[in-house]
């Protein structure tokens, strides 16, 4: 795949290097087949042209998320792309459908939370950034849509993150297929058990290795079964090749399995029970110096493992048995042997070994002597006799280790079987998703002798999986060619079938020869190796190392691996020693005995030999058969470095893993066909400059691509339906030609620029000369102008001076003449004044004299008249005085009578208040007792009949008593016996009502449970619900009838009192009245009746029973008429809903708010609930939102709780009795009769009872519900549009520049216009239905917040959206939204525009030029102050620009952000870069109350339909 075209000077290439694998550089010299390259590291190398690879100069600096998009698909390109993304904390990358995951060795919690899972739910594969959730979602969707089982294969070397990736996949599948809380039960769900099986298997199957602290030492395939609805219905776990040798042999610095260290760190009681101690004291653990893991608390892990066992269904007794066996294995390892008394015999070495032998026997619950014999002796059964053979100490130790390994292996298999049986499998499941967590290909410089056989099996597994992988990749490649409808022939690619035949061919394969050698007792590893050399000496994949006599080398797909055969035969034998089997089968511990069940006679007669290799090959074949019937998905995990530290990327290490993972093999398969696949628009944009004439006037990209390729003369390419397919090397050829064109263009541009600079210099010089000439000429003209100006100024000064002198002389002459004239005229005027004063003085003297004489005559006449008047008036006054004295005596008597009456009135008022308090206390006591009692409906009806009969009897008895009783002087106002009797009956009847309510509640609960159990009984349940409503209605009517009985009882008592003479006014005033019945049939309590104590005289006649029934029937008809009317759309009046106003007026008139019991509120709530069932019609929902919110406002203004603080005092009703009118007459002024009646208010406050307050709460809930429905309907309409608005439609750059139009058919602003239309439609609907502006504002504010969240999250999850051109597109759309907010006005839009702050700042950052010059402080303080560091880092690393090649921020800014992110890496909340949606209700009843005013309802007219009804004439008031 090296460059097959000539490379010119200046070409960018990749050169192979020993340490860094590949170096990039620039060709500086070409000499035939050799070229000289200047590397970016400063080193200059000379290499052959066939050994270099071309480099894409236009590759984005942060890499591409899918490596099939690379212009050059080769090793250095793939490696550089992974490194670039890893440096940006982008650890996931696609290669087609294959996901490559690079272990970050640090926590990234924000990538795996529930919010991120919700983002990938249902998203198309490749639409969002690469992620394991995307692979899991693609598998889940394919399973549901095509009904095909899926499999996800996770592979990689130890420490690459396979286990964590598997956990993420299982988490997502549990998230998608898990049952909701309503469906789940109290038992553990399947998905919980599947997830919690991981820590259990990790504890017993994972260990620390050189490469990983938590390495899985077994393969695992998890089958998750789904039902037809896509819910998890079962699961099964299969394991492969547990590394048993690790139980007995551990090399430094590795560790044994985690469970051994956990039990040593268990609580003290467990440690004492199992007789354990420090891990350093056990032989199986102290072979390595590593006992603890950094950041891991073994005691906490022990407790967590026990909890996980509880969840997966392992009982406490079974857990006890598990850890008993683990402790016994540790004690077995501490048993040492020495030579016995007999020849070649052995026995425990010392007392310490005896102690551990005894402890192990106790834990296994077997005989100590039998355990010792099973370790130190062997029984050989022949045809004639049974021979007991002693073992030497070395053989005894081998027997001990064999026992430990087989016990641990059986224990691990039991755990897997127990987990599978606990989880359970679904036999009816048709589809499953399998997750394979398998070990990766292993190749070491120096193999560990203890695990060579396991390494051989692991590499066999990877060879088989690689063959499956190659076939899948080849199939995908062929499918793409077929999909694109290109002409192609069969592509030959390198297959590893020969390697597989070498290993597993039967007969003649390595495994077959190994099994054959194991069956012969005298076979050794030397004879096995010689057999291999003879059989495969001519095989191209098999070779013999030169310096070894027993090793062999196999050429795998990932490289050569040398295997040592020293332990091959021992590790391939899989049999249980008969003594061990018999010993543990006879154990008194049921758990231990269950691990070693007794063998049947047939199996005991058969050979005890069993090959691990053959069994593993069978398991592998079964796995591949399962994978072959599923649709595979691949995740390749990569470990970036062997130090297990973040931010370190070792090129050679990663490259080796890519080869081992088959990624390079997939690339080779792709390169065998058409490795370069470019969409038409990208191809034209990149190579259009090679033939600009093919783009002139062309609007067809396909034709343009064909003409362009014909113009450049390429051969062997293919034109598909959407892409151009190029052979290997053709992309480099096109780039070379493009570089030549660009070079020539650069020369032309340089020539033009130099010409432009010279011309600009000449024009500048000429302009300077002209400016100098203009300055000199201007100076000369200014001097001439100055002399002319001085001459004109002198002439003007002379003229003004001469004028001043002449004017001065004239003024002096004029002043002299005026002074002479003034003196002469003054003398004449003074003479005239003196004459006039003398004449005036004479006239004044004459008038004063005449006035005095006339006044003297008048005073004399006045004095005589006054004297005469006084005498007459005195006479008249004395007569009047005598009359007044007589009248004063009568007034005193009246005043005394008045004072006496006032004292009597005050005394009666005090007694009335005392009576009211007593009655209130009595009523409160009754209410408290009534709340505790219950009864049934049938019993209440029977009791009602009995009470009615008693009432009739009492009425007759009362009449007879009234006829027989003589005239009584005084009658007691209160008949205590009768009151007690009636109270007892009252309590009994109310207890029946309470019991009825309880039974109705129980019936309703049973109905709800039945509805949950079966959807098929929905119709029956609805009928039951209707019956319950009817029962409630009947109950309310019975309660009202019971109230009627009480009122009739009171009336009878009053009739009895009417027939007795009344002596004292106070007794009459304190007589209890009939409880008044309101117009709507609700009954006031005794307190309401006591508020009018003065109205007892005279008492009205009692209504007959027929009249009351008729009145009550009329009241029910009125309620039905109201419900029927308001359930229709009756429009609006004066901008207010008529239905809400009509309901309020009726409730106010009927005094329903003050009623203790009523059914009208339930009827209204049922009517509203049925009216809003059609939730998709926004016009209908807006109408009811307007009505319910308006009615809620009226209730908020009117209702006050009983005894509420600050409630206005209720106006006392005017008295109607004689003394009441007399008192009012005495205390009122005479002018009070002339005052006009007060104006009737539309909204007035009333003291609400419990039903009214409950109705208000229910109405509030409906307002919030309807508000949420309208808001969510708008969100549903906007959701598909927002997904289109985040990315600008693709256009062809070349055609757009030349033809003036793009290839895209969608208008860029059409999607935004659709959003504006949705907003305008809803706004018009809300305005037409007069929804309160505060609700409209909240709806649009939350909608804009939703738009902000969706656009911003999509921007951060899609790399193709973080471009300069896309930022301009989104910015233009946001400008449309801003214009809409301005047109909608603040009354309705409110702060909606401010809700878009995140997307506004992000888009503002994208469209900034020269981002590399901006500092971090400028970004955080000025440009994007609202965005977090994680969000800014995400945008900066995702940013790319294919149109203008603008750069992102500088590396220093990226480094600063990365440091800040590292400091907050442990905070999951701060690490998350996605926004959360807020779906709460953002308003309260007070907000709604403050937005409306009472005066707005003054001119509202009620429903016309009700005005025609005579019962609703009060609505006209």
Question: Catalytic amino acids?
Answer: 158-159, 163, 212, 215-216, 440, 442
The candidate with the shortest Cα–Cα distance to 486, out of 733, 728, 723, 734, is: 723
The candidate with the shortest Cα–Cα distance to 440, out of 50, 100, 934, is: 100
Q: Tokens 């469209």 label which residue?
A: 1407
DSSP 1180-1197: HHHHHHHHHHHHHHHHHH
Which three-class secondary structure state does DSSP give residue 552?
strand
Distances (CA, A) of 377 to 59, 368, 405: 71, 14, 18
**Tokens describing residue 756:** 């432009």
Host H or E run for residue 579? helix 578-585
Adjacent-strand bridge partners of 1247: 1200
Q: Are 1396 and 1343 in contact (CB under 8 A)?
A: no
Which residues make Cβ contacts (< 8 Å) with residue 1487, sequence separation at least 6?
A: 1334
DSSP 1000-1038: HHHHHHHHHHHHHH-GGGHHHHHHHHHHHHHHHHHHHHH
Which residues make Cβ contacts (< 8 Å) with residue 321, sequence separation at least 6?
A: 589, 590, 591, 592
Pairing relationship of beta strands 52-54 and 346-348 according to DSSP bridges: unpaired
Write phi, then psi, for 1272 (nearest 5 degrees).
Answer: -70, -35
Q: Is the peptide bond before 117 cis (omega within 30 degrees of 0)?
A: no
DSSP 611: B
Distance CA 1210, CA 1245 (A): 9
**Tokens describing residue 107:** 């926590």
Distance CA 92, CA 103 (A): 9
Which three-class secondary structure state does DSSP give residue 359?
helix
| 78 alpha-carbon distance from chain centroid | 36
DSSP 123: P
Which three-class secondary structure state does DSSP give residue 936?
coil
Q: Is the peptide bond before 253 cis (omega within 30 degrees of 0)?
A: yes
**Tokens describing residue 892:** 């005193």
What number of other Cβ atoms are within 10 A of residue 351's Cβ? 8
Q: Are 257 and 246 in contact (CB under 8 A)?
A: yes
DSSP 1281-1343: HHHHHTSPPP--HHHHHHHSS-S--S-TTHHHHHHHHHHHHHHHHHHHTT--HHHHHHHHHHH
Q: Tokens 């199939």 label which residue?
A: 475
Find the distance separating the first CA and the last CA of the chain, reported in whole Å: 96
Pairing relationship of beta strands 1199-1201 and 1246-1248 according to DSSP bridges: parallel
Long-range contacts formed by 288-293: CB under 8 A, 24+ apart: 288/250, 288/251, 288/252, 288/253, 288/254, 288/255, 288/256, 289/252, 289/253, 290/208, 290/252, 290/253, 290/254, 290/255, 291/255, 291/261, 292/261, 293/208, 293/213, 293/255
DSSP 839: H
Write phi, then psi, for 92 (nearest 5 degrees).
Answer: -115, 135
Distance CA 1515, CA 1502 (A): 7
Which residues make Cβ contacts (< 8 Å) with residue 857, sequence separation at least 6?
A: none
């Amino acid at each position: 795949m090296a460059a097959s075209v000539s490379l010119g000077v200046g070409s960018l290439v990749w050169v192979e290097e020993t340490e860094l694998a590949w170096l990039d550089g620039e060709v500086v010299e070409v000499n035939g087949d050799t070229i000289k390259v200047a590397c970016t590291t400063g080193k200059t190398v000379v290499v052959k042209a066939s050994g270099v690879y071309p480099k894409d100069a236009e590759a984005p600096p942060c890499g591409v998320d899918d490596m099939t998009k690379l212009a050059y698909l080769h090793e250095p390109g793939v490696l550089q792309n992974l490194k670039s993304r890893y440096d940006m904390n982008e650890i996931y990358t696609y290669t087609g459908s294959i996901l490559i995951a690079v272990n970050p060795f640090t926590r990234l919690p924000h990538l795996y939370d529930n919010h991120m899972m919700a983002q990938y739910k249902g998203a198309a594969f490749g639409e969002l950034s690469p992620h394991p959730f995307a692979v899991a979602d693609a598998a889940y969707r394919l399973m549901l849509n095509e009904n095909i089982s899926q499999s996800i294969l996770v592979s990689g070397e130890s420490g690459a993150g396979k286990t964590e990736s598997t956990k993420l996949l299982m988490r997502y599948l549990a998230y998608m297929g898990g049952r909701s809380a309503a469906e789940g039960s109290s038992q553990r769900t399947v998905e919980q058990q599947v997830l919690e099986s991981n820590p259990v298997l990790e504890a017993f199957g994972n260990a620390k290795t050189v490469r990983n602290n938590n390495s899985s030492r077994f393969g695992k395939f998890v089958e998750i079964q789904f039902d037809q609805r896509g819910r998890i219905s079962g699961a099964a776990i299969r394991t492969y090749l547990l590394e048993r040798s690790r139980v007995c042999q551990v090399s430094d610095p590795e560790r044994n399995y985690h469970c051994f260290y956990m039990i040593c760190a268990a609580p003290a009681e467990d440690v004492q029970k199992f007789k354990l101690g420090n891990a350093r004291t056990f032989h199986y653990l102290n072979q390595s110096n590593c006992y603890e893991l950094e950041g891991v608390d073994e005691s906490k892990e022990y407790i967590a493992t026990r909890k996980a066992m509880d969840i997966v269904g392992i009982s406490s007794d079974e857990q006890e048995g598990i850890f008993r066996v683990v402790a016994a294995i540790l004690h077995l390892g501490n048993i040492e042997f020495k030579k016995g008394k007999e020849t070649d015999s052995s026995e425990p070495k010392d007392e310490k070994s005896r102690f551990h032998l005894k402890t192990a026997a106790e834990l296994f619950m077997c005989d100590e002597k039998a355990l010792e014999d099973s370790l130190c002796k062997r029984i050989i059964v022949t045809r004639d006799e049974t021979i007991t053979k002693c073992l030497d100490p070395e053989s005894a130790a081998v027997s001990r280790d064999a026992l430990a390994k087989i016990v641990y292996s059986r224990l691990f298999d039991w755990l897997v079987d127990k987990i599978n049986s606990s989880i359970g499998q679904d036999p009816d499941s048709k589809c499953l998703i399998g997750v394979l967590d398998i070990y990766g290909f292993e190749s070491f410089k120096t193999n560990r002798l203890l695990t060579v056989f396991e390494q051989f099996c692991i590499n066999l597994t990877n060879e088989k999986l690689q063959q499956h992988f190659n076939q899948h990749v080849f199939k995908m490649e062929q499918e793409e060619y077929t999909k694109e409808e290109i002409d192609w022939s069969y592509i030959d690619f390198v297959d590893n079938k020969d390697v597989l035949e070498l290993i597993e061919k039967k007969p003649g394969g390595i495994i077959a020869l190994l099994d054959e050698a194991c069956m012969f007792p005298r076979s050794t590893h030397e004879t096995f190796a010689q057999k291999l050399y003879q059989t495969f000496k001519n095989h191209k994949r098999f070779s013999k190392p030169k310096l070894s006599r027993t090793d062999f080398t196999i050429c795998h797909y990932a490289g050569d691996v040398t295997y040592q055969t020293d332990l091959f035969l021992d590790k391939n034998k899989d049999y249980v020693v008969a003594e061990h089997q018999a010993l543990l089968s006879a154990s008194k511990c049921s758990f231990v005995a269950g691990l070693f069940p007794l063998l049947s006679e047939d199996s005991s007669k058969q050979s005890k030999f069993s090959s691990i290799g053959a069994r593993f090959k069978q398991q592998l074949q079964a796995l591949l058969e399962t994978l072959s019937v599923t649709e595979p998905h691949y995740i390749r995990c990569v470990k970036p470095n062997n130090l297990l530290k973040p931010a370190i990327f070792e090129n050679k290490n990663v490259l080796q893993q890519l080869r081992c993972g088959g990624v390079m093999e997939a690339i080779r398969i792709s390169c065998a066909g058409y490795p370069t696949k470019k969409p038409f628009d990208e191809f034209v944009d990149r190579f259009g400059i090679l033939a600009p004439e093919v783009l002139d006037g062309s609007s067809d990209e396909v034709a343009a691509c064909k003409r362009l390729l014909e113009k450049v003369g390429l051969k062997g390419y293919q034109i598909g339906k959407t892409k151009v397919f190029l052979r290997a090397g053709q992309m480099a050829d096109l780039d070379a030609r493009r570089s030549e064109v660009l070079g020539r263009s650069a020369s032309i541009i340089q020539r033009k620029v130099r010409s432009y600079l010279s011309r600009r210099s000449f024009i500048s010089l000429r302009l300077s000369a002209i400016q100098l000439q203009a300055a000199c000429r201007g100076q000369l003209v200014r001097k001439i102008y100055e002399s002319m100006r001085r001459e004109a100024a002198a002439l003007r000064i002379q003229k003004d001076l001469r004028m001043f002198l002449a004017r001065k002389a004239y003024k002096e002459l004029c002043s002299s003449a005026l002074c002479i004239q003034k003196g002469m005229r003054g003398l004449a005027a003074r003479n005239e004044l003196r004459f006039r004063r003398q004449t005036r003085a004479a006239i004044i003297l004459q008038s004063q004299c005449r006035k005095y004489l006339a006044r003297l005559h008048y005073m004399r006449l006045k004095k005589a008249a006054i004297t005469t008047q006084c005498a007459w008036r005195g006479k008249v006054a004395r007569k009047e005085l005598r009359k007044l004295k007589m009248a004063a005596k009568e007034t005193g008597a009246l005043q005394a009578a008045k004072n006496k009456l006032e004292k009597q009135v005050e005394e009666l008022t005090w007694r009335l208040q005392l009576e009211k308090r007593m009655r209130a206390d009595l009523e409160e006591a009754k209410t408290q007792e009534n709340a505790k009692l219950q009864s049934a409906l049938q019993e209440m009806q029977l009791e009602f009949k009995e009470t009615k009969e008693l009432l009739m009897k009492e009425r007759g008895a009362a009449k007879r008593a009234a006829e027989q009783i003589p005239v009584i002087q005084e009658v007691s106002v209160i008949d205590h016996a009768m009151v007690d009797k009636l109270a007892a009956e009252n309590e009994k009847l109310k207890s029946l009502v309470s019991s009825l309510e309880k039974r109705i509640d129980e019936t309703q609960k049973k109905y709800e449970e039945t509805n949950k159990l079966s959807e098929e009984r929905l119709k029956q349940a609805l009928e039951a619900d209707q019956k319950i409503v009817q029962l409630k209605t009947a109950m309310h009517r019975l309660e009202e009838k019971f109230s009627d009985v009480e009122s009739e009882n009171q009336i009878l008592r009053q009739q009895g009192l009417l027939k007795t003479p009344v002596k004292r006014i106070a007794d009459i005033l304190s007589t209890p009245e009939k409880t008044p019945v309101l117009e709507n049939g609700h009954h006031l309590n005794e307190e309401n009746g006591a508020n009018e104590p003065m109205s007892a005289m005279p008492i009205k006649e009692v209504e007959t029973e027929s009249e009351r029934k008729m009145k009550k029937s009329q009241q029910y008809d009125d309620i039905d008429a109201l419900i029927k009317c308001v359930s229709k759309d009756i429009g609006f009046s004066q901008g207010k809903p008529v239905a809400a106003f009509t309901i309020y007026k009726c409730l106010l008139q009927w005094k329903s708010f003050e009623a203790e019991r009523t059914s009208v509120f339930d009827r209204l709530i049922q009517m509203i609930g049925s009216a809003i069932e059609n939730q998709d019609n926004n016009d209908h929902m807006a109408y009811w939102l307007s009505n319910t919110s308006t009615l809620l406002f009226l209730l908020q203004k009117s209702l006050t709780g009983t005894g509420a603080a600050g409630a206005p005092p209720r106006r006392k009703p005017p008295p109607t009795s004689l003394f009441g009118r007399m008192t009012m007459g005495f205390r009122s002024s005479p002018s009070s009769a002339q005052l006009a009646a007060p104006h009737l208010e539309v909204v007035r406050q009333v003291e609400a009872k419990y039903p009214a307050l409950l109705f208000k709460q229910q109405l509030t809930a409906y307002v919030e519900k309807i508000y949420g429905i309208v808001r969510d309907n708008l969100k549903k309409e906007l959701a598909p549009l927002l997904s289109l608005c985040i990315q600008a439609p693709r256009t062809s750059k070349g055609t757009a520049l030349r033809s003036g139009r793009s290839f895209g058919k969608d208008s860029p602003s059409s999607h935004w216009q659709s959003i504006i239309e949705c907003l305008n439609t809803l706004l018009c609907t809300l305005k037409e239905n007069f929804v309160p502006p505060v609700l409209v504002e909240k709806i649009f504010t939350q909608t804009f917040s939703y738009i902000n969240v969706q656009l911003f999250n999509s921007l951060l999850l899609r790399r193709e959206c973080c471009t300069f051109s896309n930022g301009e597109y989104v910015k233009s759309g946001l400008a449309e939204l801003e214009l809409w907010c301005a047109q909608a006005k603040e009354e309705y839009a409110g702060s909606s525009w401010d809700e878009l702050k995140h997307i506004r700042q992000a888009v503002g950052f994208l469209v900034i030029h020269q981002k590399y010059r901006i500092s971090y402080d400028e970004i955080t303080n000025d440009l994007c102050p609202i965005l977090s560091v994680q969000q800014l880092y995400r945008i900066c690393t995702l940013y790319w620009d294919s149109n203008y090649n603008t750069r992102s921020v500088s590396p220093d800014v990226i480094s600063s952000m990365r440091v800040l992110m590292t400091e907050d890496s442990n905070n999951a909340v701060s690490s998350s870069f996605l926004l959360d949606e807020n779906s709460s209700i953002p308003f309260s009843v007070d907000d709604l109350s403050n937005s409306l005013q009472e005066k707005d309802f003054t001119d509202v007219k009620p429903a016309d339909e009700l005005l025609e009804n005579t019962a609703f004439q009060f609505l006209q008031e």
